[in-house]
Structure 1
Amino acid sequence: MTPAELSQSLLNLVNDLVERRRGEGIEVTDLSLSLADVSLERPRNRDHGDWASSVSMKIAKPLGTNPRAVAAELAAGLEAMPEIASVEVAGPGFINIRLEASAAGALAQTIVNAGEAYGTGHMYDGIKINLEFVSANPTGPIHMGGVRWAAVGDSLARVLKAEGADVTREYYFNDHGSQIDRFARSVLAAYLGEPTPEDGYGGAYIGDIAAKVVEIYEGDIASLPREEQQEIFRAIGVDLMFTEIKEKLHGFGVDFDVFFHEDSLHESGAVDKAIARLRELGHIFEADGAIWLRTTTFGDDRDRVIIRSNGEPAYISGDLGYYLDKRERGFDQNLIMLGADHHGYIGRMMAMVEAFGDVPGVNLQILIGQMVNLLKGGEPVRMSKRAGTIVTLDDLVDAVGVDAGRYSLVRSSSDSQLDIDLDLLGKRTNENPVFYVQYAHARTCSVGRNAVDSGVDRSAFAPELLTHDSESALLGVLQEYPRVVAQAAELREPHRIARYIEEVAGYYHRWYDNCRVIPLGEEPVTDLHRTRLWLNDATGQVIRNGLGLLGVSAPERM
């Protein structure tokens, strides 16, 4: 019996109880309960059973009675089911449920048969989500903040898709404005052998870009006026950085469906269209020769200039055009991942959403990520050999590889600062979390290979034989996977997947130490061995599915 089946049975019992009360002449308001209202939890203490529910405390008052009385009635209904071994009412009205071994063990076969589909759900069926992440300026290699968003954003996209969402991964290239000017001046200075401009970009990569521009440009750059030289280095240099960023992200297992250029918003008239729409809605005013958006109407601390008095667009003008463009492309939810230095940005963005007539926190959701520090020998790694002033994607991958790099960036909540110990990630021990999980998966594969050699197959399945404490504990944690995926999607927290599969790995290793899949010596192969192989393979499938959501490989040998 799966958690979903048990929740449905409990919901049916609740509805039956409501109808009985009405039949007794008791006036009961329409509770309109759903499966979410009868959600199950795993008791912290396994002695309290396999599952617990607090639904009695939610419905007691509308039924005109106390929670323990409601719990007792529901418990009687549950105990009548053949899959339920026992039910206890605890505390103020908790219902603790213990499954029969056969009902609990049946999950192993369910997981194996479902394969990659195990854990997927329907929370976001029919919902179009635009997930914008990384979006680093094309002025240099991706720094560690952007690398964190690359890992987290790609994993979140996978998690949302697992819950049925139609997800578009989008990268917003900031190729319009002063930062691109500074980049172009820096590359030109490198070409001319001049010092880096005071507000420019340093690092060996600037010289590399300058040399490549000279190779690519078909003509004599040296004979051109300085302004024309700068424009050449801007156009070709930015394109080279775009290309490099895309290639580095692809090597990190992160690909995008859309690369959206900020410049296009101003060239296509998207900004003018957004201003016109907001003017129609009555939220635009003019003062001091500038065009303003009245965001204070929607809780912002001050109104925002859209077009300056000199006719130049302010930064928020691009935000207006970009948001309206996304909505007109049909996206129901727009998620943006931003660095910690953008926290003050949220208020004006949500005011903008409301000005368009949309719902802040629904049609637009902003996730803030904190910084990442790489540690080596207990000390922070200060700078990149190539970038000069920042630590980059290459630095992380060169140190620990793609798998360990991605896993380490995803396994912690993105709204907390993260220190990554490169020495730890280089160890092939259980201290290293990615090794711990990957090794558990490799062990399930090794057990499977050795089982075949020993004549153990999955030709029989007798779940009632899975009675060892470590087996019930392992089955219990495997049952949790669909709920963890759904929660990770709903809360936008893919780190929950990483922490969960680490827990699965721990339960699996303990089961491996206590329960044999392969007979010892001359022992005959029994249905217990065959059934345990199902459980072994089910565990491997869950770990593999979880690693897949994190974009991390599941090696079969280590």
Structure 2
Amino acid sequence: MTPAELSQAVQAAVSAAVEAGELAVAVPEHVTVERPKNRDHGDYATNVALQLAKAAGKPPRAIAEVLADRLRGITGVAKVDIAGPGFLNITFDAATQGELARTIVEAGESYGRNEALKGLKINLEFVSANPTGPIHIGGVRWAAVGDSLARVLRATGADVTTEYYLNDAGVQISKFAKSLQASANGKPVPEDGYVGEYIADIAKAITEGVPGVLDLPEDEQLQVFRTEGLTLMVAEIKRSMEEFGTHFDVWFSEKSLHDSGAVEKAIERLREQGHVFEQDGAIWLRTTDFGDDKDRVLIKADGETTYFAADAAYYLSKRDRGSEVSVYMLGADHHGYVNRLKAIVACAGDDMDRNIEVRIGQFVKMIRDGEEVRMSKRAGNIITIDDVVDWIGVDAARYTLGRTPTDSTITLDINVLTSQTNENPVYYVQYAHTRMCGVARKAAELGVDKGAAADFKPELLATQWENDVLGVLGEFPKILATAGELREPHRVARYLETLAGKYHRLYENCMFLPKGDEELTDTHRARLWLVEATRTVMANGLTLLGVTAPERM
């Protein structure tokens, strides 16, 4: 019996008690069951009696007695105790607990997936760094977290579109083009321009790819460097994202909003909602009506549209393309964007508490030998995604960046993350998976297997170590659903570390295979089912994080 099935059983017990006139309450839509920290308190516990007490007009323990009598009659429930003010502690018999191993193996890759967010259409935008240079360390964090979140959301039933917003219009692109032009002509890069070896590399690629570009008039030449430089830089970003295992369904151009007239149309739509006004020759959006610290200019007095106007048009584009919830994953220096983006949503007539979510990622730093690493030779003044991959690898980068809540700063220790020790979290988890694969390989060498499902004897999985692993395995669907609902993929990583720890202890205390002349027993076979179930969940979790599940290390 899984925790979800137990939750339904407790809910059914409440419903039956209501129908029998033993309780006069509304049946809860969902009943929470949890694994108690103290295993002497049973396999699972629920506080449903305390939750119902006020509405029922009865003491919690009296309600618990009613429900305990019904739960004791459920097949597979060995014991139901009432503790404290009215907690129900439920203990399964060994066969019911062990049956989970067969359930997981037969479900395979689908185990853990659920429909908690079924049908919800989410536009998930992340990274979205200016296409004026390589992805820096902050963007690498969002590449790991954003892609993992997309996988988790899809696994919980959501309809997700991942999107990269290319800021390919405006001042920074002009500075980028001028930097390329200066480098190609052997001149110093402008003081406020871009530096680093990549500028020289792109400039060289343009001069070789567009013969005669340096003979063009300066304005025409600059346009070539702008267009070609942008194309090459975007291609480079796409390459680095794909090699990092991060895929975007849509690469959305800011310039397209201006070229298509979408910005002007967005301003008119906002005007129709009654929140646009004119003052000092400019056109404004009254965002202070919805919590912003000041109203925002849409069109300046000189007729030039602002970045904010493009932000408004971009949000409306997402809505027009079917997004119910637009998730923006922004860098640590974008705190000021939260209220203004929410105000755009409200000014558009949408619900700023439902139709938009803005998440801010905190800073990342890297250290080696105790010293902070600050610069990249290629980019000049930042650490790039390629640097991170070169130093610690894709798996270590994705796992480590994804295992910490994004509202916390994080330090990546290169020495630790390239070591094969338990201090390295990705090694600790992946090594557990290789141990499981090793058991399967050894079994194959001995010519034994776990046997057919019909011959599996779940009641033989009765030691405390087996029970501990089964308990953690049962929590995976709930962990996944919570990670999706709260937009916190780090919960999956921390879960895998817990599972790895339980498996390592199981490995050290239980024999999975016969030794020497010992005969293969039903207990060995049952444990092989448990090993395969654990490997399945570990692989499923690593896949959701975009991390490989190696068979050997």
| Contact 1:456/1:529 (<8 A) preserved | no
Partner of 1:480, secondary structure, is helix
- Confirm or deny that 1:447 pairs with 2:439: yes
How far apart in 2 are the matches of 1:216 and 1:32?
Answer: 70
How far apart in 2 are the matches of 1:116 and 1:357?
Answer: 41
Write out per-residue CA displacement over residues 6-60 of structure 1, whole angstroms, 9 at most, x where no aligned residue.
111100111222333xx47x8x46x35212xx11111111121111111111111
Could you tell me which of 59, 84, 88 is aligned with 2:77?
84
Matched residue pairs, number?
550
Amino acid at match of 1:14: V
**Corresponding residue of 1:6:** 6
- Confirm or deny that 1:501 pairs with 2:493: no
**Corresponding residue of 2:186:** 193
Deviation of residue 454 (structure 1)? Answer: 2.4
Partner of 1:89, secondary structure, is strand
- Confirm or deny that 1:238 pairs with 2:233: no
Unaligned 5+ segments in structure 1 are: none
Amino acid at match of 1:374: M
**Corresponding residue of 1:141:** 134
Deviation of residue 244 (structure 1)? Answer: 0.3
How far apart in 1 are the matches of 2:237 and 2:292?
Answer: 35
- Confirm or deny that 1:537 pairs with 2:529: no
Write out per-residue CA displacement over residues 82-122 of structure 1, whole angstroms, 9 at most, x where no aligned residue.
21111111122211111111000000000000000000000
How far apart in 2 are the matches of 1:303 and 1:63?
Answer: 51
| Contact 2:117/2:485 (<8 A) preserved | no
Partner of 2:252, secondary structure, is strand
Write out per-residue CA displacement over residues 112-150 of structure 1, whole angstroms, 9 at most, x where no aligned residue.
000000000001211211111110101101000000000
Amino acid at match of 1:167: V
Partner of 1:135, secondary structure, is coil
- Confirm or deny that 1:512 pairs with 2:507: yes
| Contact 1:455/1:525 (<8 A) preserved | no
Deviation of residue 451 (structure 1)? Answer: 1.4
Write out per-residue CA displacement over residues 330-355 of structure 1, whole angstroms, 9 at most, x where no aligned residue.
11111110001111111111111111
Deviation of residue 222 (structure 1)? Answer: 2.5
Write out per-residue CA displacement over residues 297-356 of structure 1, whole angstroms, 9 at most, x where no aligned residue.
112121111000101111110111111111111111111100011111111111111111
Amino acid at match of 2:45: A
Write out per-residue CA displacement over residues 501-536 of structure 1, whole angstroms, 9 at most, x where no aligned residue.
011111001001111110122111111111110000
Partner of 2:88, secondary structure, is strand
- Confirm or deny that 1:492 pairs with 2:484: no
How far apart in 2 are the matches of 1:148 and 1:385?
Answer: 20
- Confirm or deny that 1:55 pairs with 2:48: yes
Write out per-residue CA displacement over residues 390-437 of structure 1, whole angstroms, 9 at most, x where no aligned residue.
001111110111111111110111111000001001111222111111
Amino acid at match of 2:216: L
How far apart in 1 are the matches of 2:189 and 2:264?
Answer: 36
| Contact 2:174/2:226 (<8 A) preserved | yes
How far apart in 1 are the matches of 2:287 and 2:120?
Answer: 28
**Corresponding residue of 1:550:** 545
Partner of 2:82, secondary structure, is strand
How far apart in 1 are the matches of 2:108 and 2:545?
Answer: 17
| Contact 2:131/2:166 (<8 A) preserved | yes
How much identity, in percent, do the aligned residues show?
57
**Corresponding residue of 1:105:** 98
How far apart in 2 are the matches of 1:10 and 1:455?
Answer: 44
How far apart in 1 are the matches of 2:39 and 2:225?
Answer: 66
Could you tell me which of 427, 430, 438 is aligned with 2:422?
430
How far apart in 2 are the matches of 1:91 and 1:300?
Answer: 48
State the TM-score, normalizing by the size of structure 1: 0.97
Deviation of residue 456 (structure 1)? Answer: 2.8
Mapping of 1:241-280 within 5 angstroms?
241-280=233-272
Amino acid at match of 2:336: G
How far apart in 2 are the matches of 1:547 and 1:523?
Answer: 35
Deviation of residue 276 (structure 1)? Answer: 1.1
**Corresponding residue of 1:292:** 284
Partner of 1:440, secondary structure, is helix
Could you tell me which of 321, 327, 341 is aligned with 2:319?
327
Partner of 1:501, secondary structure, is helix
| Contact 1:121/1:163 (<8 A) preserved | yes
Could you tell me which of 403, 409, 412 is aligned with 1:417?
409
How far apart in 1 are the matches of 2:46 and 2:350?
Answer: 37
Partner of 2:450, secondary structure, is coil
| Contact 2:152/2:480 (<8 A) preserved | yes
Deviation of residue 452 (structure 1)? Answer: 2.4
Q: After the TM superposition, which segments of 4 or more aligned residues of structure 1 sit over 3 Å from their partners? A: none
**Corresponding residue of 1:202:** 195
Partner of 2:301, secondary structure, is coil
Mapping of 1:9-20 within 5 angstroms?
9-20=9-20
How far apart in 2 are the matches of 1:251 and 1:236?
Answer: 23
Amino acid at match of 2:544: L
| Contact 1:333/1:364 (<8 A) preserved | yes
- Confirm or deny that 1:46 pairs with 2:39: yes
How far apart in 1 are the matches of 2:270 and 2:313?
Answer: 11
How far apart in 2 are the matches of 1:458 and 1:140?
Answer: 53
How far apart in 2 are the matches of 1:161 and 1:309?
Answer: 45
How far apart in 2 are the matches of 1:69 and 1:497?
Answer: 38
Deviation of residue 228 (structure 1)? Answer: 1.6
How far apart in 1 are the matches of 2:29 and 2:551?
Answer: 41
Partner of 1:305, secondary structure, is strand
| Contact 1:285/1:291 (<8 A) preserved | yes
Deviation of residue 256 (structure 1)? Answer: 0.9
Write out per-residue CA displacement over residues 244-276 of structure 1, whole angstroms, 9 at most, x where no aligned residue.
000011111111110000000011111111111
Mapping of 1:146-157 within 5 angstroms?
146-157=139-150
Partner of 2:336, secondary structure, is helix
